[in-house]
Structure 1
């Protein structure tokens, strides 16, 4: 049920770079936007790259780890923020309107019954994960179900949208993401654990202690096993969305630390998925730089963001659109010199 991801056909890369070099600008003058344009061109293949119609998919889920005090906020905030997203009043909604993107909220594992609402996709696997300090957060079946549902949602969205973005909402999910980075990076746990949504020194110390106990409980290192031991349902479903977008041949903009953990899991499952990911920004969350390093990724922005919700992915969307239009809209230098524009 988890889709196969084909590596990009790079046989046309030299031609794409030559095409960009022939545009009406000095060689290399647009820096990394040119590299992004090449990536989008390779993803598009025989088609011209387009990034006009964009969808942000916000995956929501709760974490049993929160019962051990890994977050400064109670789990009920997840449900409240989902309602705010659905009402169009969250930061992600404001940013989406600013850049012309649609927002879809996916209930992957919120620990509450959410009533039907416009913009809400009911994909709940279970009502929150288990407490990973004490036991595996998910079963193997729940992980595979979350991956499959995320992949199916991304494949469906790819039929209507040119580019997809992933973000999340889930109190306690920076703790799960830190454990995933620790095992799949791999990096030392101490380097992976940060303040999340705003711990003070005492709260951060408690978070580190809890996560050390969770890590000591299992030696899992394979991606599906790591997701089962430590992952939240929103992280597993986002990982599936990465695989689904890549399988459908769509560029996918990855948000920050938690979405990055999902991308890391997806890339460990199918390394070719990295070719389709655009990493939006470097989060202020401790460990994100190491996560990007583990992914071999260089983010587009560095704005000290640490909110989540897909806000960083939305802010990077105009850069993706600009890179696509570099290939399609900018005149060739030869035409300019010959007066053919």
Structure 2
């Protein structure tokens, strides 16, 4: 081999040695890409609804507390540790003295831990990493129901049309009453979540060009942002279109289209303030309306959402209609549980028999 040949071989070998493996780059580029990844994760998290962010943060704090008690590293999110976490959650106190944590809360804790592990800590977790933990939780729920044990508050009761009739009859004839009627009927009409209603801006609620009602652009949503068409109601006193127009005119919020659609009212002067209603405040309004009307249920901020599904089912509307209205995924099992209690009368073996 000549010196030239040896030089070429050495040069080629040297060049091959500095070629990074597939998908890897030099240290400076890798550091920059890692920074972009971190910023992207933070940007996505910052654009999630506040309630979702707070929920995930609470789930991870519970996981960290479990890890401290069991001397496990917080990043050890595995099938077995999630099973142990489920057992640990099962004996934790719930929201009310004397009650333990609700199964739905534990299920959400599992989801929050897995999501946080993947997104914030870059853990490579299997799709079914929580499968065994949820199987254990399901078995515990069956045993709980068999024993007649009560955990948590249970599902929110549905706010039905008959309930809203009673509420409307008790509303004061002032700005507070006008706002609360519009908030309640709008919440019902769009099958809204508390944070969806609280985050609505005045410009997100527009008149249909053909005069058929309102077009509501739900920009901030836990799952799927959506545009909801809200037609006129057959009951003028419960019509979401008419009540919105009355609130918009009485409050003067039309002068600030970027402002919140539903505002706080000054506690003393009852004037409209710039601040909007957060998710908890929206729920508080619905609960307060139910208490004032002396309803046979204690409605929460989720009650109008359940109520629309129930009333829509009673009216014979297809499930797909309610799914679109409330932003559920196609074939949502959760949405169908909202009308399960009512199915026994709509579909009954006694029809046409007695």
| TM-score in same-fold range (> 0.5) | no
- The TM-score, its normalising length taken from structure 1, stands at 0.28
Q: Find the structure with the greater CA-based Rg.
A: 2
TM-score (norm 2): 0.27
Which structure is higher in helix share? 2
* Higher RCO (C-alpha 8 Å, min separation 6): 1
